[in-house]
Structure formats: C-alpha cells, structure tokens
Structure 1
C-alpha cells in the first residue's frame, strides 16, 4: 500500500504544472501555446517574464524535493527513488494537461538535492556554468543531465544499484525530452537566453 501511495502522490505532485498555473492566473493563457510550447521554467521565463520564470523554477524544484521527502519517509531510500521517477514523469506527462508537460530539469534538480546533495550541486554548477558561457539553457540542461550519472560514478563509493539506475533514468529522460533542442543546436537555430524574454 505504501508503494502505491508513494507512486500516486509523487505523480500527482509532478502533475502540478506551475508554468501552466501561473500562465492562467496572470495572463489567462495556456503557456503551451506560446514560445517553445513547453510547460517549464525556461518557457515561463520567455513568455511570463523573469519573476514568474524564477518562481516557476523554484516551484518545480520544490515539488521534486517534497516528493522525495515523502517517499523516503514512507519507504526509505527505495521510496525516495520511486518518488523521484514518478514526480518527474508527472511533470513531463501530466494527466490533467493531456500528458503535455515540461522537460523535468528543475524537478530532477530538486530530486537530486535530497537524494544526494553533492550530485545535485555538481549538476547545478555544470548547468549554470554552461548557460553563463553559452547562453543556451538547453545545452546547460543537457550537459547537467549527462553529468549526474558520471558524477555518481566518480564521487560515490558502493553506490546502491537502484540509486544508480534512477540517476541514469532521469538523465536519459531529460536528454530524450530535449530532442528538439538538440536538433536546433546542431542546426544553429536554438534561441539563446535573453532573446524574447518578457517582462
């Protein structure tokens, strides 16, 4: 029963799309019909402006944190790992929005900060550094996603196999969700941070 509760709570938490909700509350728009069409923090930044973009980012991190805390409370480490997977799946494929959500980067960061803050911090540093140097949010997100599994191997000894599989799953899922961004990066057509950002 605790497994079912963990899965359902985590998925439903993930389904709360802060980008969508803030878009509806502040501008009465469906953010998925504007900008990149993605219900995530980067598109919220471009469509809703800096303040609401930052708020979206923080709320997405928070739901990742909350899901893992609940999962660990109910079932220990395995519960936290299970919650990690389903909160990100909920964010990416929310049932209430016809399974059209975000890419799970901020939520995955929140997850990592609770599972292992060292891995989360390394991913954050890599992502932010790449974004600052290139102004490509997608590139920073992709490289941060790749960094997670690599950092797990380098920084952690005797890693629980389920932990390792979870980190790999989250990283691969993020990369897959960035498929269109990767294609635009290769064509030199990806928008840089700062372009078309609202107030």
Structure 2
C-alpha cells in the first residue's frame, strides 16, 4: 500500500507544470502552443525568455527532489526509485494537462541528484559539453541521459543492479520523449541555441 501511495503522490507532483503555470501567469499564453509544443524548461526558455525558462528549470528540478525525499522517507531506496520514476512520468504525461507535458530532463536531474549526486554531475557535465559543442539542447539532453546506465556501471561502485535498472528505465523514457527531436536531428532541422 505504501508504494501505491508513493507512486500516486509523486505522479501528481509531476503534474505541476511550471512551464504551463508560469507561462499563464506572466504571459497569459500556453507554452504548449509554441515551439516544440512541450511543457518543459527548454520550450519555456525559447518561448518566454531566460527569466521564465530558468524559473521553470528549477521548479521542475525541485519536483524531482521533493518526490524522492517523500519516497525515500516512506519506502527507503525502493520508494526513492518508485517516486523518481513516477514524478518523471507525471511530468511527461500529466493527466491534468491532457497527458501533454514536458520531456522530463530537469525533473530527472532533480531525481537522480537526490539518489546519486556523482552520477548526476557526470551526466550533467557530459550533456553540457555536447550542448556547447553542437549548440543543440536536445542533443546534450539525449546524450547526458543515455549515458546514465553507462556511468552507473563504470563509475558507481559497488555495482547496484536496482540503481542500474532505474537508470536504464529513466534513460529509455527520456530518449523516447525526444523521438521527435531525434528525427529532426537526423534531418538536420533541429533548432540550435
């Protein structure tokens, strides 16, 4: 029962869309009507500017942090993993916004930061390097997330199968959410910064 409660609370927490809320408050616009149509930090940045984009990023990170704290407090490591996965799913597919949410990168950063800061820092740095080289946020996001299971194997000792499977799941979810970006990257039509 406690794991069900963790999953529901975390999923609903993920439904709090800072890109949607702040866009409506400050501009009276729905972020999903612009750019990529995503209710996330990158689209908020492109659509509404740096100030709102940064607020959205930190709000989405905070959702991940709070969910993992709740999950770990109620259900230990298993609760933390379940909460992390659920809050990301809630962000990506929020029932309150007709299942049209963000891509979950900022929320995932918050989640993984609370579970393993070393992995977070390594993947974040790798992602930023790719963004700087390619000037493409989606490329850095995809690469940073895709590296999570690899980093879990190579750099996190002792090896933890549950953590590796968690990293594999969140990486797969992130790559899936970026499928349209991947198509544009292949075509050479993805927007740069």
Q: Same fold (TM over 0.5)?
A: yes
Write the mapping of 1:45-194 to structure 2, written as runs, cut at 5 A. 45-193=45-193
Corresponding residue for residue 197 of structure 1: none
Asked if 1:39 corresponds to 2:39, the answer is yes
Corresponding residue for residue 196 of structure 1: none
Deviates further, 86-95 or 21-30:
21-30
Deviations 1:88-137 (A, max 9, x none): 00000000000000011111111110110000001110111111121100
SS of corresponding position for 1:167:
helix
SS of corresponding position for 1:103:
coil
CA separation in 1, counterparts of 2:165 and 2:15? 23
Which aligned runs of 4 or more in structure 1 are off by greater than 3 angstroms?
A: none
Offset at residue 144 of structure 1 (A): 0.4
Offset at residue 29 of structure 1 (A): 1.1
Does the 8 Å CA contact 2:146/2:171 hold for their aligned counterparts? Answer: yes
CA separation in 2, counterparts of 1:33 and 1:5? 33
SS of corresponding position for 1:16:
coil
Higher relative contact order (CA 8 A, sep 6+): 1
Offset at residue 164 of structure 1 (A): 1.4
Under a length normalisation based on structure 2, what TM-score does the superposition of the two structures give? 0.98
Deviates further, 162-171 or 95-104:
162-171
Does the 8 Å CA contact 2:152/2:163 hold for their aligned counterparts? Answer: no
CA separation in 1, counterparts of 2:80 and 2:112? 10
Offset at residue 165 of structure 1 (A): 1.1
CA separation in 1, counterparts of 2:181 and 2:130? 15
Offset at residue 162 of structure 1 (A): 2.1
Corresponding residue for residue 20 of structure 2: 20
The count of corresponding residues between Structure 1 and Structure 2 is 193
